[in-house]
Amino acid sequence: MAPDRPHVFVVHGDLTQLACDAIMIPTDARLSVREHWHAVVPEHRELAARPELDAFRRGKALAHALGPNSTDEHAPLRVLTAVPLQGYSSVDELRPRIRAFVEAAAAAIPSHRESVIGSGQRRALPLVAMPLFSSAGGGGGLRRTAIIDTVLDEARSAAIACGVDVALVLRTEPDAALAQQRRRTTATDSWAAVAPRLLERAQLLARHALADRMVPFMGAGVSMSAGAPSWSRLLTDLADMIELDAETRDALFAGRLGELDQATYLARRFDEAGLDFRSAVAALVQRPRYGLAPALLAATADEQAITLNYDTLFERASTAAGRARRVLTGGGTPARTDVEGADAAAASDLGDRWLLKLHGSADHPGSIVLTRDDYLGFASDRSALTAIVKANLLTRHLLFVGFGLADDHFHEILHDVKRAVGSTEASATALTLFADPLSDGLWGGSLTVVPMLAERFSPDALPRAARTLELFLDALAAYSIDSESYLRLPEYEEGLSAEELRVRELMLALEAASGRTYSPSSSN
């Protein structure tokens, strides 16, 4: 395992909503851009007249970095990538185009990384993202399995050569399921960047997911991949909004007040200034795009998920993957469904999927729990929500991701469950960024703590630890998906193994006997 070896992630979702450094925009020599990309390339009608694109028009260049969308300050670079006017006759024709995209993106990113996902928060390696760009139109006649194998292989090779990570973002559930299956069959190449101990742990946790027993419990670290603030940065940003003088600021943050009391003080100062404290919190935590962590957890979570975060990144990632879910916030706020961007089928097929937002939601600022008074009133206002968490600790496997396990409410819940049943051994796993020699003494058998880096905390190592968490979640997502929806569809048939063909025949026979027809989901 090479600690900084570039990696290819697979994400089921919408490429236009993913926080990254650069994205591929497929086009042709006429510089025509499909309608799906018009919001990302609002100047698409002007491209044909630009002199700097002359080499691209003449086929002398296969990729050209346009720069970010000027209407979005945090937008990624857009890299035009050529598809042939006459279509593809071989999957090998994809390789130079994938390579050209990665090379053009990697060359342009260093001068652009100032504000792609938020100031002060950089991945250890840049992230470039691409769709399965040969899967329709000119590439529609190629075997789907061959396309995915070729894209994964060439993206991996180009990523290593250019020193960047690549995210392959797939719009349909069958494509995502097939890509994960192909990665599992080439595990040596797919997980070369993941430490063996972490890969083994991801595979173990995936068994809980496959049995519908795993429930993600998400903290602020999950949203930081999209540039959302940590708890401490949120408080300092709030202080900046009311322009605290230096002496007061030092007393607030360098003194002995805990973070709950810091929030209480800031809330009172907002009130004195006639400002809405919770609306300010909501504005600071929201981000236009979700990061890898929410997207990968959305693919892993089945029916239930829990979060302390206020932002809406996880539910948007779930919706983009065709897995829209009900959102429960409590505090007098009615349950809602986040189906923005979902098709009608995804919106109506919620099943039992839900997200419990214990500390409120940014789209309902009044529900936000942040000050000490909020915490003290939590038990009476949201006891039903807390009961759901306790029930999950007793009956399912909770996966704590994205926080340092220091939340007072978390300790209260874990304490109550331990008192009720004597232990929560093997019922919960916590993914931490760094090793802590006090973990075993503090948690005993209550939690299985899995550090991403087997070393103590270091600020310099923080980007590497955060990226390692993304690698872990990518492996977990790949091994948690057992859908074989692609087996039913004719465009995948030619690439199936003999065993898969036999399974396909049985599936089709069962569908014919039942009179039901399978329809694959598409997220956008």
Q: Is residue 78 part of a domain?
A: yes
Are residues 413 and 271 part of one domain? no
Please report whether residue 200 resides in a domain. no
Whether 82 and 118 map to the same domain: the answer is: yes
> Would 201 be classed as within a structural domain?
no
Does 431 reside within a domain?
yes
* pLDDT band (50, 70, 90) for residue 427: confident
Query: Is residue 392 one of the residues assigned to a domain?
Result: yes
Tell whether 293 and 278 lie within a shared domain.
Answer: no
Instruction: Work out how many domains the chain is built from and give that number.
Output: 4
pLDDT band per the 50, 70, 90 thresholds, residue 489: confident
3-state secondary structure of 94: helix
Read off the CATH number of the domain in which 42 is found: 3.40.220.10
pLDDT recorded at residue 23: 96
Among residues 282, 298, 426, which one has the least CA distance to residue 368?
A: 282
Q: Are residues 454 and 492 in the same domain?
A: no
For residues 70 and 127, state if they share a domain. yes
pLDDT digit string, tens, across residues 6-50: 999 999 999 999 999 999 999 988 888 888 888 888 888 888 889
Residue 314 reports pLDDT greater than 80: yes
Please check the confidence at residue 437 and state whether its pLDDT lies above 60: yes
Are 245 and 375 within one domain?
no
| Residues 89 and 59 grouped into a single domain | yes
Per the document, the length of the chain is 524
Asked, for residue 389, whether it belongs to a domain, the answer is yes
What's the predicted TM-score (pTM) here?
A: 0.88
68/73 Cα distance (integer angstroms): 8
Question: Residues 150, 218: one domain?
Answer: no
Do 116 and 17 fall into the same domain? yes
In a domain, 524, yes or no: no
Instruction: Say whether pLDDT at 160 is over 70.
Output: yes
Sign of CA dihedral 55, 61, 67, 69: positive
**Residue 37 included in any domain:** yes
Q: Which of 49-63, 68-82, 461-475, 487-501 is predicted least confidently? A: 487-501
Residue 400's identity, in one-letter code, is F
Do 362 and 491 lie in one domain? The reply is no
Q: What is the domain range of residue 251? A: 231-285
pLDDT tens digits, 83-128: 876 667 788 889 999 999 999 999 999 865 543 444 445 789 999 9
CA distance 221 to 404: 9
Residue 331 pLDDT greater than 60, yes or no = no
Q: Could you give the percent of the chain with pLDDT greater than 70?
A: 79
In a shared domain, residues 111 and 219 = no
Per-residue pLDDT tens digits for 238-256: 999 999 999 999 999 987 8
Residues 172, 31 share a domain: yes
> Torsion over CA of 455, 456, 458 and 460, rounded to 10 degrees?
0
- Contact status, residue 287 vs residue 227, Cβ threshold 8 Å: yes
Maximum average pLDDT range among 24-33, 287-296, 385-394, 505-514:
287-296
Phi, psi for 105 (deg, rounded to 5): -65, -50
